[in-house]
């Protein structure tokens, strides 16, 4: 587990996303799924993006996926908050396709940045970012 670093900007726990963060704190990755049309709803919303139904239900994910795309961050620039990421350099920001379908923006951890590749199989690992927020990141499977 990464060292707790409260200087970094954290996601807001909105009413729509509270269940996501509550589940993440229990090491469970969940995504909303529309019960009317079966579409995945990500990011969290009260209504389905596809059909407008309010029958969106939090659904457990396997936590398995693969790297769709990624970039390696080798320097930080700009706002002061960005400086809080400096100790992590170099690090990877990636799109990960979950095996169930949804695509998340996340970090790849647990391997050298030059070992990350497209299509790499990964599995979720939650990192504690605050008392209430555990971030879903992904490591090589
Ligand atoms: Zn729908």
Ligand 1 center–CA 16 separation, angstroms: 16
Instruction: Band the pLDDT of 7: cuts 50, 70, 90.
Output: confident
**pLDDT per residue as tens digits for the range 46-80:** 999 999 999 999 999 999 999 999 999 999 887 76
- pLDDT value of residue 77: 81
pTM to 2 decimals?
0.90
**Cα(34) to centroid of ligand 1, in Å?**
5
pLDDT band of residue 6 (cuts 50, 70, 90) is very low
Expressed in angstroms and rounded, the spacing between residue 83 Cα and the centre of ligand 1 is: 40
What does the pLDDT read at residue 80? Answer: 67
Quote the pLDDT of residue 76.
Answer: 84
Sorted by where each begins, the domain ranges of the chain are 18-140
CA of 35 to the centre of ligand 1 (A): 7
Inter-residue contact 104 to 73 (CB < 8 Å): no
Distance 38 CA to ligand 1 centre (A): 6
């Amino acid at each position: 587990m990464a060292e707790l670093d409260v200087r970094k900007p954290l996601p807001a726990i909105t009413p729509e996303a509270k269940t996501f963060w509550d589940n993440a704190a229990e090491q469970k990755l969940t995504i909303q799924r529309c019960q009317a049309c079966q579409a995945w709803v990500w990011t969290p919303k009260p209504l389905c993006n596809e059909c407008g139904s309010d029958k969106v239900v939090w659904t457990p994910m396997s936590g398995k996926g693969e790297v769709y795309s990624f970039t390696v961050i080798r320097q930080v620039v700009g706002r002061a908050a960005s400086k809080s990421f400096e100790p992590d350099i170099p690090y990877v920001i990636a799109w990960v396709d979950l095996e169930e379908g949804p695509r998340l923006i996340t970090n790849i951890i647990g391997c050298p940045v030059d070992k990350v590749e497209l299509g790499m199989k990964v599995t979720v690992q939650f990192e504690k970012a605050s008392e209430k927020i555990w971030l879903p990141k992904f490591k090589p499977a």
